[in-house]
Amino acid sequence: MKPSHILSFLCGAALMLGVSMVTPSIAQSPHHVFELRMYHVNPGKYEALKSRFGDHTDGIFHHHNMKSLGYWTPEDAPNSQNLFIYVLEHASRQDAEKNWAAFQADPEWKKVKAASEVNGLLVDHVDSIFMDPTTFSAIK
């Protein structure tokens, strides 16, 4: 098994535990799906990526029915320098696909992305994992 798969699993488990501890009373439809996204950030671009999310991306997500549950930065190197993690909640997998397509086509997003990447791409690649809550999960 690849180390990245193990890291992905552990990050997902830790994030879901953290989210459940912070928001134990969230009542959600059993059809909701959660998306764990891990951005592998290019050298020297970490702060620019965090700024883009904080200043623009999160707000644009809301315009496209994409609910962010939280954003995390790892504490330990080397991931603390090059890994940005967040979780989105979608009504369904189909809605996620539709909302991502609308987000990618959004003129505001295109403008923000282009402006933030004038000195080079911020992200090398993204790992995305769609997750369903277990029957014993605090978040459903």
| Domains, the chain, with CATH or none | 3-131 (3.30.70.100)
pTM over 0.85: no
pLDDT tens digits, 71-98: 999 999 999 999 999 999 999 999 999 9
Average pLDDT over residues 105-114: 98
Question: Rounded to whole angstroms, how far apart are CA atoms 31 and 91?
Answer: 6
Give the other-Cβ count within 10 Å of 127's Cβ: 16
Supply angle C-alpha 112, 94, 56, rounded to 5.
Answer: 15
Higher pLDDT, 100 or 135: 100
Which pLDDT value is given to residue 138?
A: 84
Which pLDDT value is given to residue 30?
A: 53
Q: How confident is the model at residue 54 (pLDDT cuts 50, 70, 90)?
A: very high
Average pLDDT over residues 120-139: 94
Average pLDDT over residues 102-128: 97
